[in-house]
Amino acid sequence: AVSRLKRRGLLTADRPGSKAAGYAPSPAARQLLDDGDRRVYTRPVPDGRWLLAVFSVPESERTRRHVLRSRLARLGFGNAAPGIWIAPSHLEDETRHTLVRLGLDAYVDLFRGTHEGFEPTAEAAARWWDLEAIAALHRSFLSAHEPVLRAWSRRRKTPPEEAYRDYLPALDAWRRLPYADPGLPAALLPRDWPGARAAEVFFALHAKLRDAGRRYVLGAGDGA
């Protein structure tokens, strides 16, 4: 595992005052963690503009083409046409960091702009993304964790062990959603879109339980 992380440029040698091998996160790894934290713990603010990723990969490098497509999809891009992927413009920085880190930037041109027709943008977005599949993920999250929030809202105290028990599954379930859901403007989403409520539930649980859960972890680490 260490060798794999070194090959990916995520670990660097760090041996201050010691003959033993030691490692530290590389700048690329720190950037990866920072991007992940922003994705999971902040709410996107769409500005109505789009980011286009247009790529061309030689047939002799089909593996890179597959990696590029799969990585853009994991970042939240929709497929507008062969070789053309689209995302809200707020994903630009993370997209740049990811493509450079993976050595894929040489194959891609990025553009920012607006959708000028001819199809209504909401209808186009429904082609670019599988909105029903994304909505189903939000509904699944709500089904599991909205009752937990209701239960905690009736409690005045926040016991650390119970907070940890309920926060960890919520965080584990939530952290996948901001990657599946690109954060489209509300005007482009179905009227009954569950994403806003799913975000409300997670951030309410985050505010209620995170600090108490952290105290439990620190106490367990101290042997308390």
What's 81's domain CATH number? 3.30.70
Q: How many CB atoms lie within 10 A of CB 107?
A: 17
| pLDDT class of 219 with cuts at 50, 70, 90 | confident
Start-to-end CA distance of the chain, whole Å, equals: 32
Residues 161 and 107 in one domain: no
Say if residues 97 and 35 touch (Cβ distance below 8 Å).
Answer: yes
Instruction: Give me the chain's average pLDDT, please.
Output: 90
Radius of gyration of the chain (CA): 21
Whole-angstrom Cα distance, residue 33 to residue 35? Answer: 5
Q: Which residues pair with 23 in a beta bridge?
A: 13
Residues 6+ apart with CB under 8 A from 84: 52, 53, 54
Instruction: Enter the pTM of the model.
Output: 0.84
Q: Which residues pair with 24 in a beta bridge?
A: 12
Does residue 120 lie in a domain region? no
Is the pLDDT at 52 greater than 80? The verdict is yes
Q: What is the mean pLDDT of residues 77-105?
A: 95
If one counts the domains in the chain, the total is 2
- Please report the pLDDT score of residue 27 as a whole number: 80
| pLDDT class of 223 with cuts at 50, 70, 90 | very low
Residues 83 and 134 in one domain: no
Owning domain of residue 163? 130-221
Is the pLDDT at 138 greater than 90? The verdict is yes
Is the pLDDT at 1 greater than 70? The verdict is no
Does residue 124 lie in a domain region? no
Return the minimum-mean-pLDDT range out of 42-51, 125-134, 143-152, 196-205. Answer: 42-51
Is the pLDDT at 222 greater than 90? The verdict is no
CA 194 to chain centre: 17
